[in-house]
């Protein structure tokens, strides 16, 4: 049980610091003292360190300890799990393409009509991450590895709910309408008749990139945890940096346009 407990402790460190810094009253006090940019830099630095610890712990402990669920030997379970991984990667990649215009984007404070992948899920990244993680929980051979991946699924569910609550408090009625028009669970709003699927709006290139990344990782699966999870850290932190820069550039452009036309 010790390897699994070590991974759980690393998740508590990452999730605890993330939650502590992102909720009031501490967040409000830090923003008042450091400003929005200073708080973002602090939050990003703490998250990067905590995630690096988590990845290194998962990488060093994933092959040790007692057995996990390990249902990969069952053909149907394995097929469904692999399909979930490909779908999860595609959803996550598509959400990064749509992120700069979404209400969740940093620096935004704007609520636009849901388009493209937002019609499928307003939290496509979180739920794509959750699908990927839950599939691995079923497949991995040890409990420590299962705890490592299960943490991502929990983070996805809790993170999306907390983000909705935070944005509803900050943006008010426009975000409430956005919530009414969309769903967190993929395709739920479409099936309920509150939204429609518009194929022409979907970021097909980003979806294809996500599926391609899933295939590439499957081919290199045995090396993902090499160098204490270095590739995991670089991928996650790099993706976060690209999304943040994209959101910041879009907001600057919109503000410039408002200044010209205002």
Mean pLDDT of all residues in the chain? 89
pLDDT-based confidence at residue 254 (cuts at 50, 70, 90): low
Q: Domain boundaries in the chain?
A: 68-261
Q: What pLDDT does 260 receive?
A: 64
Cα separation, 171 vs 176, in Å, equals 8
Does 154 score more than 90 pLDDT? yes
Over residues 156-169, mean pLDDT:
92
CB 178 within 8 Å of CB 104: no
Cα–chain center distance at 58: 18
Cα separation, 58 vs 8, in Å, equals 9
Non-local CB neighbours of 218 within 8 Å, separated by 6+ positions: 82, 85
Cα separation, 251 vs 96, in Å, equals 16
The answer to whether the Cα torsion of 21, 23, 29, 33 is positive or negative is positive
Cα separation, 234 vs 63, in Å, equals 21
Q: How many CB atoms lie within 10 A of CB 106?
A: 16
* Percentage, residues of the chain above pLDDT 90: 61
Over residues 61-90, mean pLDDT:
92
Question: 58, exposed or middle or buried, with CB in 10 Å at 0-12, 13-18, 19+?
Answer: buried
Does 179 score more than 70 pLDDT? yes
240 or 114, which is more confident?
114
Report how far apart, in Å, the C-alpha atoms of 116 and of each of 94, 149, 203, 243 are: 9, 28, 7, 17
Q: What is the pLDDT of residues 195-240, one digit of tens each?
A: 999 999 999 999 999 999 899 888 887 788 888 888 888 878 777 7
Q: What pLDDT does 225 receive?
A: 87
Does 167 score more than 90 pLDDT? yes
Here the tokens at position 146 are 């299962």
CB 149 within 8 Å of CB 133: yes
User: Per-residue DSSP letters for 54-87?
Assistant: HHHHHHHHTTSSSB----TTSHHHHHHHHHHHHH
DSSP 196: -
Query: Which of 158, 149, 221 has the alpha carbon at shortest distance from 4?
Result: 149
Does 16 score more than 70 pLDDT? yes
Which neighbouring-strand residues pair with 142?
67
Non-local CB neighbours of 38 within 8 Å, separated by 6+ positions: none
Here the tokens at position 173 are 């009625």
* pTM assigned to the model: 0.87
């Amino acid at each position: 049980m010790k390897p699994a407990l070590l991974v759980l402790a690393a998740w508590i460190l990452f999730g605890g610091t993330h939650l502590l810094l992102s909720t009031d009253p501490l967040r409000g006090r830090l923003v008042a003292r450091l400003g929005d940019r200073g708080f973002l830099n602090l939050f990003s630095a703490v998250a990067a360190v905590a995630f690096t610890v988590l990845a290194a712990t998962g990488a060093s402990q994933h092959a040790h300890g007692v057995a996990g669920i390990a249902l990969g030997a069952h053909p149907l379970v394995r097929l469904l799990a692999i399909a979930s991984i490909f779908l999860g990667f595609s959803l996550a990649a598509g959400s990064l393409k749509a992120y700069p215009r979404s209400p969740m984007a940093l620096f935004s404070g704007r609520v636009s009509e849901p388009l493209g992948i937002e019609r499928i899920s307003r939290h496509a990244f979180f739920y794509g991450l959750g699908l990927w993680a839950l599939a691995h929980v079923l497949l991995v051979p040890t409990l420590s590895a299962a705890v490592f991946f299960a943490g991502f699924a929990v983070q996805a569910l809790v993170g999306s709910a907390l983000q909705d609550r935070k944005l509803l408090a900050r943006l008010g009625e426009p975000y409430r309408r956005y919530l009414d028009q969309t769903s967190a669970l993929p395709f739920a709003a479409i099936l309920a008749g509150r939204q429609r699927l518009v194929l022409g709006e979907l970021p097909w290139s980003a979806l294809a990139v996500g599926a391609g990344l899933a295939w590439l990782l499957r081919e290199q699966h045995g090396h993902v945890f090499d160098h204490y999870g270095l590739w995991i850290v670089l991928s996650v932190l790099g993706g976060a940096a690209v999304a943040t820069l994209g959101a910041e550039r879009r907001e600057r452009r919109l503000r410039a346009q408002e200044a010209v036309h205002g």
